[in-house]
Amino acid sequence: MASTHLSRTAFERLTEEHYDLTTRGRIEVAQKIEAARLLGDLSENGDYHAAKDEQGHMEGRIRQLEHFLEHAEIIESGEAGVVAAGTVVTIVYEGDSHDMAETYLLGHMEERAGDLDVMSPQSALGSALLGSVEGHWVEYTTPTGDQLKVQVLKVALL
């Protein structure tokens, strides 16, 4: 089974979310279901069906979190200026001006850093960027087969 690379911050946030959902979340949903049952006929009880749907979504999220946490590998900050999982990288595509630069957090989909978009290190561009440094040009093949080239403008630790 492949490991889930997470920053320590993301791991702690997901652990807290899991604890919250398995304690407070389950109690609140159970109370909503019980209150809806008291309203009578369950076959046409919208409150009951909504609470059961909420319970299903929450249990799905709990299972997802358990999987992430069980297979988590904490990534520590890498070398300054080198693109690695957990770094914030600013790139510009060949032919574009620097004011069209894009900034991403390279990491797992559960990583969060403000309004930054997250790029998977397993994606075509993400894997091509790994190990590169500021100023380097990186070439990669898109899933559609196109060859693109980007320049790494800035690498920052999260």
99 and 123 assigned to the same domain: yes
**Inter-helix orientation angle 26-37/46-70, to 10°:** 160
Among the three residues 75, 99, 130, which one is the final residue of a domain in this structure?
75
Among the three residues 45, 75, 105, which one is the final residue of a domain in this structure?
75
pLDDT on residue 23: 97
pLDDT on residue 155: 94
Compute the distance between CA of residue 93 and CA of residue 5 in angstroms, rounded to an integer.
27
Range of the domain at 100: 87-157
Per-residue pLDDT of the chain (158 residues; tens, 9 = 90+): 577 778 788 889 899 999 999 999 999 999 999 998 888 877 788 889 999 999 999 999 999 999 999 998 887 766 778 998 888 999 999 999 999 999 999 988 888 777 889 998 889 999 999 999 999 999 999 999 999 999 999 999 87
Tokens of 154: 């800035």
pLDDT on residue 77: 66
CATH number of the domain that 139 lies in? 3.10.50.30
